[in-house]
Every structure is written in C-alpha cells, then in structure tokens.
Chain A
Amino acid sequence: MTGLPDPIQQRLGLAPGTPPILALKGVSKYFPGVIANEDVNLEVYPGEIHALLGENGAGKSTLMNIVTGIYKMDAGEVIVGGETRDFASPTDAIEAGIGMVHQHFKLVRAFTVAENVHLGWPDTPKRISRRTLETRTAKLSEELGLAVNPSAVVADISTGEQQRVEILRVLARDAKLLILDEPTAVLTPKEARELFAALRAFTARGNAVIFISHKLDEVMEISNRVTVLRGGRKVATEWTENCTEKSLAQMMVGREIVLTETGERAAPAADVAPCLSLSDVSLTTAQGTVLKNISLDLRPGEILGVAGVAGNGQRELTYVMTGLATPTSGTITLDGADVTQAGARAMAQKGIGHIPEDRLHSGMAPTLSITDNAVLREYSQPPLTRKGWFSPKGATNLAREIAKVAEVMVPDFAMPARNLSGGNQQRLVARREMRIADKILVAAYPSRGLDVGAINTMMRYFVELRDKGVGVLLISEELEELMNFSDRIAVMFHGEIMGIVPTKGADVEEIGLMMGGKRQEAAE
C-alpha cells in the first residue's frame, strides 16, 4: 500500500499522512473451541464514524474488548496514536483516549448519575461534596450535549438516559475514540436521533467513533466507513456510500439473504373467540399507576402488535399477561377461564411463552451454564424431571437441541451463559420460549440484539406460530416491523391503550399521533 496516494485521509478531509487514531494489525483471539477473532486489520481515522458489522457471534464485541484492555489478544498489535499499546484494563485505555460503552451497561444502579459519572476517575477529588459532583456533572452534560439529570438514581432513569450517562462517563475523560456496542438497540427513534447529533458533533471536533449495530439503515445514515466481520475474520472495509443495506447484509452472511414476506393471507375472522382477554386491567406499583384500564383481546392465529415509545407500560403489560404481576384491578381470562391470579408458573404451563424485555435480569441466570439456562422452561417435565429426579444429561440434550434450532454455536454447554455473544443469548431465550408457546407468545422487543438474518428467521417462526393458531403479542419500537408482521396494532401511551387499528390500511401518521398520546377517533 505504501507509495500509493492515500485516499482515506483525503476523503475524510484530513491532512495527507494523518495517522489513524487506532490501528489493529493481525489481531486474533481464541476462546476454547471458538475463533472469536483472527487476523483482523482495522484503521480508524480522526473525524470518522466507523461502523462495525457482523452476524451474532462474529466477534465484534470481543474485538472491541481487546482494544479496551478487557481481553488480552492471542496475536496481533493494537496501535494507538502511532504507538503499540497493550492495555491491561479499560482504565488504561481511557487514559490513552479510548472509551467504550458496552452492549450491557455497567453502571452502578444504586448510585446517582453524578456518582456514576465520577466513579473510578482519577480526576475526581478524593473528598468532594454531593453538590459539587452534581454541578460538575451538569456542566459536562451541557458541554457535551447529552441531557442527564445529575441527582437521579440510575435504577430510576430510562434506558436512553442510562446510555447518555455511560457516554458522558467516557467523554468526560477526554476520549478521542468512542466505541459504542449496539447503542441504539435500546433507544427510541427520537433518542437515537439525539445520539447521532451528539456523535456528529463529537467527530466534527476531530474525534472518532466505532459504532457497532445490527440496524443497517442507521449504519447507512451515520457512518463514513464500514468494516464487516464474519466468523471472527474481517471480510472488508468499505466506504458506506458505496454500499447498500443489501450489499452489507450479503457481506455479513456471505451469501444472498432472502427476506421473507409475511405472505398474503386472509385476516383472522374477527369473531374468533379470544384466547387471552384483558378486561379493564389496571396495575399500580411503587412507581404509580403503570397500567390503566386496559382492555385487550388477543385472538388465536393473530399477531397483535404493540406500538409505543418504550417505558409506556409495555413491560408491565407483558408482566400481567404472563402472570409475573397480578393486576390491581380488572380480570384476565385465558380461553374463557379466569387466570387473573394464576401466577407465572401456571401461565407458562398453560402454554404461554414470554420473551422478556430484559433477558439478562429476568430471562437468564448469566453466571450459570448454558444448559441450566436453556432448560429453564422445561426442567420440571419429563424427560428432564421424573418423580422429582432431575437428569443433567437430559438437560444437556435439550440444551443442545435448542441451541441447534436457534443456530447458536456452543463449544461447551457447561460454560456460563454470559460468555455467549449478546445476540446468541437472545436467540436462545427466544427459541426456548417459542417451544412452550402452544397458545400464546408474549414477545417484548424480541429482535433486540439480533442480526438481520436472525430477525428474519425469528419473524418467520412467529408467522409459523400464528399459522398454527397461536396468539402472538409483538411489542416493538420498529413501526416497520409491526406494519410488516402484525394483523392489528395497539398503541400504548402512559400505561393506556390509545387505540387498536387493523394493520391493513393503517395510517402510520395516525399511529404516530397515538404514540404521542392522542386517542383514536371513535369508530363510527
């Protein structure tokens, strides 16, 4: 390459010969039975937003964990600002100007925003008052264009705000390179737009961003260049403007992917008796009234979409529908029988699967083995449990079966589930739940963290379940997903249902208005 004019700097508007902020040379990382990264080369220049793409388990998070000193590479070189570096910890990396926000946030939930921003920061004075911490945080927040409430406790704030806190934490330490691992998976479209604006302002100051995402439209919108990984190896680095979503998807998978359509089909007759029916259900918790007079019928053989900005009662809706929470008032019936008080176990046994919003905190035990996690729904039935005796071997067999259909490569089923890539965890949970969903599947943001291919496969299964007569409740922030796959769309706002519209002929604008709190015009 030497001797040739280097167009990268030119196209990024940099002085010729500007060195990359970060360069990786031949980086390899092996886990027992897995090639997480092999011979990866990558250069990131000042002023660019560099997207990192790849299927679930392609090695994106691992590669970035190597850069920030969480993992030690087995071969290769990390060059920062022209110097070979081998960070021993994220603290070292941040000192050299590289900060990362992880796929799963690492904030201390019991601490305030200001405390989290200052935690483990050598610049924080040894003795400092709460007030000063908060003023400092407010000042940083303003300077960097990331709105946060310094005195709020992290456990109480929205996911979007938690993420701003994470970014603030990193930027406050003068990072030159910000690494974001699937930052928009948990953001509302509005929050994502604000994040993009902040990122553009950040790179305009001569900094760089590495952006990991499965959302190809966002990658197309925000990035200057893209690097694609497949099976731990780099496939290519391209200028984004030379790519299309389709070409990117193809590079990730290595073959053409055919996106399934739902296929035309007759809408289920409206007079089919509902399988699950909520009537006038309200739920009051310590946070106040989170569900208000919800009446909703889920019919067998339909996909009922739930639209709305996250945090408007969707999670609580899944809780009452799966027996995890008992409504304060109102009744829930399953095939006509009252199940208001049934509880989670009974509901699961009646054939209700639940893909939870927050897999790490409720859907899995990350420290336990993949086997233990995979059998969470079926451990109490034969062949796993007979007369109270549990068969570890039967469990591993079942886990193997689930991993196989979920297309998750598992080198060792005794390995803790947290070693799986984020998307692979989600795949396992989704498969596990689909297996028990004989009647109903409640799926909260099921495509979070999944790659394009996996989303496509999962949606195909949802359609299959629907065709078998299962009622599917699909909660999603992607209106497009809802428009493509659901039969009806219910819109939630502040714990209430603003209206339910048939997807066919639905007016996206009207749905948008309902998401903002406008009630559906009464049908004539």
Chain B
Amino acid sequence: MSTIRLQRMPIAPAKVSFVLRIISVLLALLTTAIVLWATGRDPIALGGKVISSTFGSTFGLEDLSLLLSPLIYCGLAVAVALRIGAWNIGAEGQFNFGAFCAAGIALFVPGPTWLILILMMVAGAIGGALWILIPTLARAYADVSELITTLLMNFVAMLLVYWVATGPWLDPSGMALATTARLPVSVPPVWGIVHWGLPIGIILAFALALFFTYTRWGYEVRIAGANAGAASYAGMPVKTQLIGVMLLSGAIAGLGGMMEVAGTVGRLQGGISNNYGYIGIMVAVLARAAPLGVLATAFFMAVILNGGIILQSQGLTTHTVLAVTGLILLYAAIGDEAAHYKVLRTKTGES
C-alpha cells in the first residue's frame, strides 16, 4: 500500500512556480465563471464578449493600452521599492500627487508646449518623490515601517485632489462640477488615442531591468535588499540607497500620474488614480519585482480590468471585477506556497 504525502521544500523550483502561476490564474477565471453561471448568466458568452471587445477592435485595444500605461508605472514603482525590501503601499497617493503637480504646471505656467510637457514630467516625478519622502525618512532614520505611513499618505493625496478639483482649481467655465479645466497641453498620441505614456513606460521598464542587472548601483541594491547587514559590512551606504530607491519608486508613480492627467484624462479630477496604485502592488508581486515581469503582469491586469468594464456594460457590478482580481492574487499566493511542496509516495509497512 502506498500513501501520498506532501513535503515542504526550502526553495520552490522556478518551473513549478511558473506553471502554478498559470494554473492559479485559470482557476480564478474558472471560479468566476462558476459564480456567473450560478447566478444565471452565461459565462462562455460573457467571456467571448470580453475577448472580442478587447482584442477584436481598435477601440478595444486602445482602451486596453490606456489602462495598461498607469498599471505599468504603478507596478514598476512598487517593484522598485520591493527590490530593496520596502513595501510602497502608497503608489496611489504618489500617483495622485504627481498628477496634481503636473496639472498645476499646465494650468498656471505659460510656455511652449514641449517645455511645459517636460516641466510637467519633472513636476510629476518630483511630486511623487515628495509624497514618499516622509515615509522614506521615517523608515531610514527612525525605523518606522513604511507600510502604514505610505498607506496613510494616500488618503491625504486623494482628498487634496478632490478638494482642488472641486474648489480652487474648479473649471471656471462652469461646465464641470468636479474637475479642473481641460489642460492646455497634452501628451501627444502615438497611435489613435494612445499617447506616449505607454511607450515611455515600456522603455522605463527595460531601463530599470538593465539598471538592476548591469549597473553597480543595481548590484548594491540587490545586496542591500537581501541582507542589509552584508551591505553595511561591504561599506555600502545602506541608508542612502534605501532613500534613493524609495524616492525613485515615488517618482515613477508620480510620473504615471502625470501621464494620466496629461495624456489620458486631460483634466485633474478626484479619483483620477482609479486604484491603479493598489493594483500596482498586485502587478509587482505577481511579477516578483522584476521590471520586465511587470510588463507582462500589468498587461494581464489590464485585460482583467478592461474585461470588468465590458462586463459592467453587460449589467454586472464593479464588485465582480474586484472579486476576480482578488481571486487571482489569492490563488497566486496559494500557488506560490504550493510550489514549495513536493508530492511523495511513501510505501508504508508491508505488514
């Protein structure tokens, strides 16, 4: 007689992890399908609808690309911080504040478009970095966990944007109730309504990947992220590194906010971040903090989100979409853990 048992291995084989990732995604989709079916809908028809409206038309692909861009920025932001062992839960806030700073430049600084756009990018990035500055310093000098502080800063940024968009910066034309006027400049398009934000984000991902593998700094960050003790032993400026990397993380999220306000939306409005910052955490975790992996997982999340929007037009609520994304993360986490296990067949006593 033989029994089947599980054994936990100290490390998960990469291949197994990858396969389990895919299985977990499929399982999440399957679970959703079952729920849809149980509530009297036709999951296959709905799924077909999602796929055809996403990939079957230029409009669909454009929408997908517009969703993809902020997810790449936010995913990269979280991933970069993770490389040095910091959790940036505040990409949402940095995205908002970056958008706010960029909009401020557009609305109040006159000048030639190209210059204003560059200034806006700089302002967005600096704004994002500023928004993570306090959590960064608190972590570096007082050992305060960045998990809570970055999260709290999100609410401040959200409220700030709501307030300016409905108050001081409200569209003077009286046409809108909760947004600023249309910004006088916008990020130029590359394809249809898809603007330069997307290619720049993709380039950024490649640049970061190169940076982590092929620069001295990248090596140092790797060591400091894996064992801060070893980094200081080797004389690396661990604090400076932590500060640098976290500010970079904030800047990337802030730049994402700038692209969103100046490329996709065209105005500053409350809720402009649309949870991208939080979804970015998922994107980064699924990608295991690898910049190129972020491109893949961001694309995947964009498809899910876009699918959600289509499902809404079919009479389903946003909660369904959130449930799907949550399920994927849950299954992925289970899959990651499961990858550590090996199935054993043990022969038990012949007696």
Contact = CB atoms under 8 A, between A and B. Distances in A.
Contacts of A375: 219
Contacts of A354: 233
Contact of B235 (A89, A344, A395): A344
Contacts of A391: 214
Given A88-B6, A372-B219, A379-B216, A365 B230 contact: yes
Given A89-B7, A89-B8, A363 B214 contact: no
Interface string A344-376: 111111000010100001111111100010011
Interface in A296-343: 323-324, 343
Interface string B192-226: 00000000000000000000011111111011001
B259 to A, nearest CB: 28
B188 to A, nearest CB: 32
A365 B235 contact: no
B347 A362 contact: no
A14 to B, nearest CB: 25
Given A88-B7, A323-B235, A379 B230 contact: no
B342 interface: yes
A81 interface: no
B204 to A, nearest CB: 19
Given A88-B6, A389-B214, A367 B226 contact: yes
A215 interface: no
Contacts of B145: none
Contact of B214 (A69, A366, A390): A390
Contacts of A389: 214-216
Interface residues of B, number: 31
B7 A376 contact: no
A376 B230 contact: yes
A388 B226 CA distance: 21
B220 to A, nearest CB: 8
Contact of A368 (B10, B215, B226, B342): B226
A460 interface: no
B344 interface: yes
Contacts of A372: 219, 222-223
B232 A365 contact: no
B229 A362 contact: yes
B323 interface: no
Contacts of A385: 216, 219
| Most chain B beta-carbon contacts within 10 A, residue among A69, A348, A376 | A376
Given A84-B347, A86-B346, A89-B7, A392 B214 contact: yes
A392 B213 contact: yes
Contacts of B219: 372, 375, 379, 385, 390, 395
Interface in A41-92: 69-70, 72, 83-84, 86, 88-89
A170 to B, nearest CB: 20
B216 A390 contact: yes
A385 B219 CA distance: 10
B229 to A, nearest CB: 4
A377 interface: yes
Contact of B234 (A86, A377, A388, A392): A377
B227 interface: yes
Contact of A363 (B233, B235, B237): B233
B217 to A, nearest CB: 7
A416 interface: yes
B236 interface: yes
A250 interface: no
A345 B214 contact: no
A380 interface: yes
Contact of A388 (B11, B215, B229): B215
A366 B226 CA distance: 8
Nearest to B235: A345
A376 B6 CA distance: 38
Contacts of B217: 388
B199 to A, nearest CB: 25
B239 to A, nearest CB: 12
Contacts of A89: 7-8
Given A88-B5, A368-B226, A376-B223, A362 B216 contact: no
A364 to B, nearest CB: 6
B7 A388 contact: no
B112 interface: no
B349 interface: yes
A72 B230 contact: no
Contacts of B11: 416
Interface string A375-419: 111011000010011111001000000000000000000001000
A102 to B, nearest CB: 12
A385 B215 CA distance: 8
Contact of B342 (A72, A84, A362): A72
Interface in B1-42: 5-8, 10-11
A262 B222 CA distance: 41
A478 to B, nearest CB: 24
Contacts of B230: 361-365, 376
A354 B232 CA distance: 13
Contacts of A356: 233
Nearest to A367: B226
A180 B294 CA distance: 45
B319 to A, nearest CB: 37
A344 B7 contact: no
A346 B235 contact: yes
Contact of A343 (B6, B222, B235): B235
Given A365-B226, A372-B219, A69 B233 contact: no
A232 B236 CA distance: 39
Nearest to B224: A365
A380 B232 contact: no
Contacts of B346: 86
B5 A324 contact: no
A459 to B, nearest CB: 24
A88 B7 CA distance: 5
Contacts of A70: 10
Find the residue from B10, B214, B216, B222 having the highest chain A CB count within 10 A. B216
A362 B344 contact: no
A366 B227 contact: yes
Given A86-B344, A89-B7, A372-B222, A388 B216 contact: yes
Given A69-B7, A390-B215, A368 B223 contact: yes
A195 B318 CA distance: 64
Contact of A344 (B215, B223, B233, B342): B233
Nearest to A69: B7
Contacts of A349: 235
A364 B227 contact: yes
Contacts of A380: 216
A376 B236 CA distance: 10
Contacts of A366: 227
Given A347-B235, A368-B226, 9 more contacts: A84-B347, A89-B8, A324-B233, A349-B235, A363-B230, A365-B227, A365-B230, A379-B216, A388-B217
Interface of B: 5-8, 10-11, 213-220, 222-223, 226-227, 229-230, 232-237, 342, 344, 346-347, 349
Interface of A: 69-70, 72, 83-84, 86, 88-89, 323-324, 343-349, 354, 356, 361-368, 372, 375-377, 379-380, 385, 388-392, 395, 416
19 contacts: A72-B7, A84-B347, A88-B5, A89-B8, A324-B232, A346-B235, A347-B235, A368-B227, A372-B222, A375-B219, A376-B234, A377-B234, A379-B219, A385-B216, A388-B215, A390-B213, A390-B215, A391-B214, A392-B213
Going nearest first, the 5 A-B pairs with the smallest beta carbon separation are A345-B235, A344-B235, A365-B226, A365-B227, A385-B216
